[in-house]
Amino acid sequence: MSGQNKILPIHSDEKHAILEIRRIVIDEEEPLSKVVRFLKEKVSYYDWVGIYVIEGKNLVLNSFVGKPTIHTCIPIGKGICSLAVTEMRTIIIDDVLTDPMYIPCDERTRSEIVVPILANGRFVAGIDIDSNTPSAFTDWDKKFLEKVADILSVLFVS
């Protein structure tokens, strides 16, 4: 799959999707739940979409759409989500089966992207997306999801 083919199937205009996410964050109750649902519905290869929030020394699953996971609380220092925390950058894993940091959740998962949500210069949460497609995530996903993370960061500013 090339990056040019990876567009939102219903809204081929990325700007429309960004505007809708902004509207959800401003106008809706439970915006994190609604944003993960929106992403899962609009991007065909996003098979599991969740947001983990920092609570003490753990990442705690706040909202998700997809197959239920037993990994609702991940100690910082374990897994790909933790790598995004410690490095404060987007992490893309093309083949989770070959990455020793990957914490298996669903045997169908083949690739993962974790995008940090930063507020006041610190990591407060992360968007975690799994795909059943190997090498599913491209630079388009990275840039798009970093825009989404920036929008969500306002929910964590104190």
> What pLDDT, on the 0 to 100 scale, is given for residue 12?
61
pLDDT at 9: 52
d(CA 5, CA 22): 24
Exposure of 68 by Cβ count < 10 A (0-12 exposed, 13-18 middle, 19+ buried)? Answer: exposed
Burial of 115 (0-12, 13-18, 19+ CB in 10 A): buried
- pLDDT (tens place) for every residue of the chain, 158 residues total: 444 445 455 446 788 899 999 999 999 899 999 999 999 999 999 999 999 999 999 999 999 999 999 899 999 989 999 899 889 999 999 999 898 888 877 889 999 999 999 999 899 999 999 999 999 999 999 999 999 999 999 999 87
pLDDT at residue 131 in the model: 96
Q: What per-residue confidence (pLDDT) applies to 2?
A: 43
For residue 16, the model assigns a pLDDT of 86
Q: Could you give all domains of the chain from N- to C-terminal order, each with its CATH number?
A: 3-156 (3.30.450.40)
- HSE at residue 27, side-chain half, CA atoms within 13 A, is 6
